[in-house]
Amino acid sequence: MFTPVILAGGSGTRLWPLSRQRMPKQFLELDGQAQGTMFQRTLARLDGLEHTAPLVVSNKDHRFVVAEQLRLAKRTSRRIILEPMARNTAPAIALAALDAIAEGDDPVLLVLAADHYIQDVTAFREAIKIALGQAHEGRLVTFGIMPTHAESGFGYIQCGDVLGEGGHAISAFKEKPSAELAQEYLTAGNYLWNSGMFMFRASRFLAELERHRPDILAACRDALAASEQDSHFLHVPAEQFARCDDESVDYAVMEHTDAGVVVPLDAGWNDLGSWAAILDVSERDADGNGLQGDVMAVDTRNSLVQSHHRLVTTVGVEGLVIIETKDAVLVAHKEQCQQVKAIVQRLQAEEREEHASHPLVSRPWGHYDTVDKGERYQVKRITVLPGECLSLQLHYHRAEHWIVVSGTAKVVCGDKEMILSENQSTYIPLGIKHSLSNPGKVPLELIEVQSGAYLGEDDIVRFEDRYGRVPAN
């Protein structure tokens, strides 16, 4: 028996325009295989193993996405721990380990990234069983991927002597090598790719962290002690957590401990760190293309083409990555995909919204899709799930018109309460308290037309909110 710890706080900037700040790659289905998002697949591949409900560590901005994806997958979590800012894997795992022992238990933790691809699930589960035995012996296990080629984009682990069943002592951790050195590692045969997956008993990890990085452990203890638990999430305070260095668990613990062991894993692993990696794991046609969505490819070879909203056509191209979303299109040579991060950095520098979110934005009550916008107006299509409710709120700079497309809406506007059905509408004046809920059994869909001098999402004052969002001052 073990407790999974799912690290779901990454940003995935190299997979723009599909992956964005508010909807990063772990919450997306990237390869078109209709098997769920990467986060959901991470949970599903643990089926058949004896484990408790998982601990999920994520960014506070993604809390409702995590909760919704758990709900859609019909899965529960032991806890969803919310980091106020990214501090790398050592603090994230420390929070999970401290929480795991808080009630007197001392489980073995299986630490997994939420955005990895595993082709051979059976081999993955067998490696976990081997690692579990090692963890019960008091060792700190990392999983090393059997290399398939001389890859210069990964760190490596040098294997030492056989240590227990299925494990090897760790001789050294190696930084990302040059192409020539990567080839030497591949030829030597005793080097594995560093996967960033781990297994150890919670108390054993904390003891090693205390030994090698007591400052990180102390900051995480203070942060956890000051955390606030609501019905869904554990909110970690920024003041205490910010004292943690931005440090990986490799640098903080694994490179220094004398209890480390590596278990080889040959399961078709991929960290999906670029669009070229997505092409590698995609189903391909006779010309080597990975095509998804409404795509027509003529005389096209070895290319990845994804259409998410409209027809995309290609003629006479080779080795390209073309990703179409509602508000952005990426065209890149597959050998230059790592440079996509530079586009994201430029979008951030120019304060463009395309780096942060899609027109379709998830909310705890459902989602909204921006249909059109101009200087003093904005049109959204809003979907409210059955039984859900938007907060009681007001806006200082905009008025709103709501037109029900389908379903039933319960509207509060000032001191009035009304029920609206299909083709009915109402007007929400500027500065008036209002709320919207769905009392029905089917999703509520409506069109919202905003008008005013300022239409930003921060023009909102909340008075009541069932989802624990902090009211604005």
User: How many residues comprise the chain?
Assistant: 473
Q: What is the pLDDT of residue 470?
A: 59
Which residues form the domain of 221? 3-270
In the listed set 249, 270, 291, which residue is the last one of a domain according to the structure?
270
**Domain contains 469:** no
- For 275, half-sphere exposure in the C-beta direction (CA atoms, 13 angstrom radius) is 33
**One domain for residues 118 and 174:** yes
Cβ neighbours around 140 below 10 Å, total = 23
Compute the distance between CA of residue 440 and CA of residue 418 in angstroms, rounded to an integer. 14
Compute the distance between CA of residue 357 and CA of residue 343 in angstroms, rounded to an integer. 15
**One domain for residues 382 and 333:** no
Compute the distance between CA of residue 473 and CA of residue 460 in angstroms, rounded to an integer. 10
Q: Are 442 and 380 in contact (CB under 8 A)?
A: no
Best CA proximity match to 86, nearest among 153, 29, 21, 143: 21
**One domain for residues 177 and 298:** no
* Local structure of residue 318 (DSSP, 8 states): B
The distance from CA 240 to its chain's CA centroid, rounded to whole angstroms, is: 24
**One domain for residues 204 and 292:** no
**Domain contains 66:** yes
**Chain segment 4-41, per-residue pLDDT in tens:** 999 998 877 899 999 998 899 999 988 776 678 999 99
Q: What is the pLDDT of residue 354?
A: 92
- Sheet containing strand 360-363, edge to edge, reads 360-363, 366-373, 377-384, 444-452, 398-406, 425-428
**One domain for residues 38 and 159:** yes
Structure tokens at 251: 């640098």
* Local structure of residue 227 (DSSP, 8 states): -
Cβ neighbours around 375 below 10 Å, total = 7
**Domain contains 164:** yes
**One domain for residues 136 and 237:** yes
Q: Which are the contacts of 184, defined by CB distance < 8 A and separation ≥ 6?
A: none
**Domain contains 353:** no
What are residue 19's phi and psi, to 5 degrees?
A: -90, 130
**One domain for residues 234 and 163:** yes
Model-level pTM? 0.88
Pick out the chain residues at pLDDT < 50. 472-473
Report the CATH number that the domain containing residue 421 is assigned in CATH.
2.60.120.10
Q: Which are the contacts of 3, defined by CB distance < 8 A and separation ≥ 6?
A: 51, 52, 54, 55, 78, 100, 107, 108, 109, 110, 202
Q: What is the pLDDT of residue 362?
A: 83
**Domain contains 208:** yes
Q: What is the pLDDT of residue 472?
A: 43
**One domain for residues 155 and 214:** yes
What are residue 56's phi and psi, to 5 degrees?
A: -115, 130
- Our CA angle for 63, 65, 66, nearest 5°, is 65
- What's the total number of domains in the chain? 3
Q: Which are the contacts of 143, defined by CB distance < 8 A and separation ≥ 6?
A: 127, 131, 195, 197, 198, 199, 262, 263, 264, 265
**Domain contains 355:** no
- Our CA angle for 88, 241, 115, nearest 5°, is 30
- Sheet containing strand 320-324, edge to edge, reads 290-292, 304-307, 320-324, 329-333
